[in-house]
DNA sequence: TGCGATGCTGGAAGCGCTTCCATAACAATG
DNA sequence: CATTGTTATGGAAGCGCTTCCAGCATCGCA
């Protein structure tokens, strides 16, 4: 498509220095006189030179690649807002770190998903991998990945926190906080639609919820818990079931915004007024929570920052600046919107 | 992190053949006896060898990289469902083609966005680039990109169709079809909230809309048109304005699902019943259209397939199998859901 | 039986970089 | 002024592949 591109040797010749010196300049290395440095940069500009990343990777023995792995089928719609937010955050930090991001979606229901993740790392020579839930909760996978490259986990459960660096919010506290919010509004009859069983951070939210209920002097066992899977559909199904019960809950806490949107949709279908007849809350504060009607009360998670922090943890580790696995807790907060209100209001 | 990985020479030694032969086997080249081929594959497996992609790129002089470029700020929420669907489709096809995808988000409001896109292609040695709207509508950018690598456009307007391969639906027909749907329900007072001005395919939808209106014997000029920008927010603002008019439209056609969600949200806020008092339609059929209440009538676009087709067009072109720029039209269809109905119904 | 055509194979030369190491220039020390 | 460091610099050896090309069997056909 075009003429031969200039190489480092062209730059060296053009600026009258050795190839090694050019390399030093390009990599901000030491021991180059300022005037030489300037001369080299001038040649780079005048030749419109840019380093060949492939050659650099080969020579330096490091690919610069960081994989971001999602558990989602190619054919199903992934939890787009969640995934996009993480991807954007990771992308931005990779730019800063001069690394490349390799986004990958692994069908979580395929029998060999672990192998697929590990193969990706192996064949692409990834130097780091960011695992998202529920992959970040799987000790086997995390251990195997750690043997191959630097690993950072998004919202890992306690079972994997000791195995690799991680970032996330305090899920238990998040669950506690939404529950307190609802209890404070006067709700006494709560239900929780969980995420996938394998996704332990959704389970931690439940623990927090129970703690809040107990702190109110209520029986934690009175909270109905239904096993969802983070999808809109599971919100629909479980909400239908809940509202068909003899004494339906006055508030449904959902493990994420998608599920809450499903719950909301059922309420609309039954002509229930939200929040007057039913309060519904989500989790994550994805844009979806402002798109549905009424806007969702939810727990904000700084997803982009989390992904960025994961990438920079990997970068630090590759630079040898870390010792033991470290978990970084980012702040969450309850965002009260219109989907929650006092129970039994007119 | 681990011992030296086996190289092609290790495989050659292990299977007792020359390095060249191994390379031939790995690349499915001709002129290798079946028994030798088997022997080499056996060695590959037993050594757990995998090609070093960096070395391969350098030696073959081709990076295998295809860039997927979106116009969106890192800090703003992109149109996630739209972007995710395209990314997934591109990702899958890249897997098939043995290429790598480089997703990139360029702030469309930065002054040098064109340069940014071209720099990405240049510095990363991309062999192909998939441009999404509104980048796919910019003749300058498309021309410049074509000079550097293979280009495929998502939903290009007529102004860029001749410049590079493209895929998309027939936007004009899509606009025509939703409009016919609404006219068929009895609506006579329509409004259209467009996408960004720079996004010409949204303008084509308007042309179709006008054609439908005219075919009904109405004055195309009677259709109110407001200049949105594809965001939820613009749906909110313009719908507020429209509903504040003396004779508000009975149906609002939005340039995409996000905008329609915004319109829906205003209707809810005003306690307007949708579709009885106001019909609202979207475009794209992203999952969002099933998440909002009531579910959106919208025009389905096969986004994943479009992205896949774009990648494979690039692959064909790189293989030298193409001649002139070709535009591939994929089928669209109106998905009638509950957000549209006869006007003025009880 | 002879001889060009064809099939199979491997040696060797790169691809464009980083990095080890030797060398040169110069400053600092006794 | 000789000696030891320190700072700059470039030569050369790879990194792990692909690919050109030469070499040798083998084959078909006259």
| A8-51 is a CATH 3.90.550.10 domain | no
| pLDDT tens-place string over residues B233-256 | 999 999 999 999 999 999 999 999
Are A261 and B291 spatial neighbours (Cβ–Cβ below 8 Å)?
A: yes
Specify the pLDDT at position B74: 65
Task: Answer whether A88's CB lies under 8 Å from B105's CB.
Answer: yes
B210: left (phi over 0), alpha (psi -120 to 50) or beta: alpha
Confidence of residue A199 (pLDDT cuts 50, 70, 90): confident
The domain spans of chain B are 8-51, 65-169+303-330, 171-301
- Is the four-CA dihedral A258, A260, A264, A269 of positive or negative sign? positive
Contact A294, A262 (CB under 8 A): no
Read off the pLDDT of each residue in A140-148 and give the average, rounded to a whole number: 95
pLDDT, residue B321, reads: 79
Short-list A135, A145, A345, A119, CA closest to A250: A345
Task: Tell me the count of A-B CB pairs closer than 8 A.
Answer: 122
By CA distance, what is A308's nearest residue in B? B74
Mean pLDDT confidence for A67-88: 84
**CB contact A258 to B (< 8 Å):** yes
Mean pLDDT of A326-335: 97
**pLDDT on residue A1:** 44
Position A2 pLDDT exceeds 60: no
Confidence band of A12 (pLDDT split at 50, 70, 90): very high
Q: What is the mean pLDDT of residues A309-314?
A: 97
By Cβ distance, the residue of A63, A78, A103 closest to B54 is A63
Contacts of A88 in chain B (CB under 8 A): 74, 78, 105
Tokens of B123: 């510095």
Interface test with A, best of B3, B73, B77, B95 (most A CBs within 10 A): B77
Superfamily of domain B65-169+303-330: Response regulator (3.40.50.2300)
Query: B232 touching A, CB under 8 A?
Result: yes
| CA–CA gap between residue A88 and residue A308 (Å, rounded) | 9
Q: Do domains A65-169+303-331 and A171-301 have the same CATH topology?
A: yes
Give yes or no for residue A56 having a pLDDT over 70: yes
What is the rounded average pLDDT for all residues in chain A?
93
Task: Give how far Cα A290 sits from Cα of A336, B183, B232, B256, Å.
Answer: 11, 31, 9, 17
- Residue A74: the pLDDT is 65
Taking the CA of residue B32 and the C1' sugar atom of nucleotide C1, their distance in angstroms comes to 30
Regions of chain B short of the pLDDT cut 70 = 1-3, 74-78, 345-346
The mean pLDDT value for A174-183 works out to 97
> Does domain A171-301 sit in CATH 3.40.50.2300?
yes
- Residue B193 makes CB contacts below 8 A (sequence gap 6+) with B226, B228, B234, B235, B238, B239, B252, B253, B254, B255, B259, B263
Q: Is B147 on the interface with A (CB under 8 A)?
A: yes
Handedness of CA A13, A18, A24, A27 (dihedral sign): positive
Residue B278: predicted pLDDT: 97
Decide if pLDDT at A299 tops 70: yes
Least confident of A258-272, A286-300, B43-57, B332-346: B332-346
Residues whose CB is below 7 A of strand D? A 16-21, 24, 30-33, 36, 58-59, 61; B 4-5, 7-9, 19-20, 23-24, 26-27, 49, 51-52, 55-56, 58-60
Task: Express each pLDDT in A200-234 by its tens digit.
Answer: 888 899 999 999 999 999 999 999 999 988 899 99
**Contact call for residues B206 and B175 (beta carbons, < 8 A):** yes
pLDDT of B1 reads 44
Q: What is A65-169+303-331's CATH number?
A: 3.40.50.2300
Contacts A87 to B, Cβ<8 Å: 103
């Amino acid at each position: 498509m075009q003429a031969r591109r200039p190489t480092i040797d062209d730059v060296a010749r053009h600026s009258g220095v050795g190839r090694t010196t050019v390399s030093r300049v390009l990599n901000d290395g030491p021991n180059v006189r300022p005037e030489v440095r300037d001369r080299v940069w001038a040649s780079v500009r005048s030749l419109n030179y840019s380093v060949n990343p492939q050659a650099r990777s080969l020579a330096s023995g490091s690919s610069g690649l960081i994989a971001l792995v999602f558990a989602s089928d190619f054919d199903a719609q992934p939890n787009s807002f969640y995934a996009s937010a993480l991807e954007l955050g990771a992308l931005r930090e990779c730019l800063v770190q001069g690394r490349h991001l390799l986004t990958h979606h692994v069908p979580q229901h395929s029998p060999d998903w672990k192998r697929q993740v590990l193969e990706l790392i192996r064949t692409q020579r990834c130097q780091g991998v960011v695992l998202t839930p529920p992959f970040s909760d799987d000790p086997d996978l995390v251990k195997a990945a750690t043997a191959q490259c630097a690993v950072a986990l998004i919202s890992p459960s306690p079972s994997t926190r000791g195995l690799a660096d991680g970032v996330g919010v305090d899920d238990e506290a998040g669950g506690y906080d939404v529950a307190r919010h609802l209890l404070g509004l006067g709700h006494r009859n709560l239900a929780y639609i969980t995420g996938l069983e394998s996704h332990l951070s959704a389970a931690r939210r439940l623990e927090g919820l129970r703690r809040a209920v107990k702190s109110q002097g209520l029986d934690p066992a009175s909270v109905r818990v239904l096993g969802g899977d983070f999808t809109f559909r599971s919100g629909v199904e479980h909400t239908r079931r809940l509202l068909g019960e003899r004494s339906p809950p006055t508030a449904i806490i959902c493990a994420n915004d998608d599920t809450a949107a499903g719950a909301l949709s059922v309420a609309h279908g039954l002509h229930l007024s939200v929040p007057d007849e039913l309060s519904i809350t989500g989790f994550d504060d994805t844009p979806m929570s402002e798109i549905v009607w009424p806007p969702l009360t939810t727990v904000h998670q700084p997803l982009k920052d989390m992904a960025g922090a994961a990438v920079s943890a990997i970068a630090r580790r590759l630079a040898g600046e870390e010792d033991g696995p470290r978990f970084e807790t980012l702040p969450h907060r309850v965002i009260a919107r219109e989907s929650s209100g006092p129970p039994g209001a007119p």
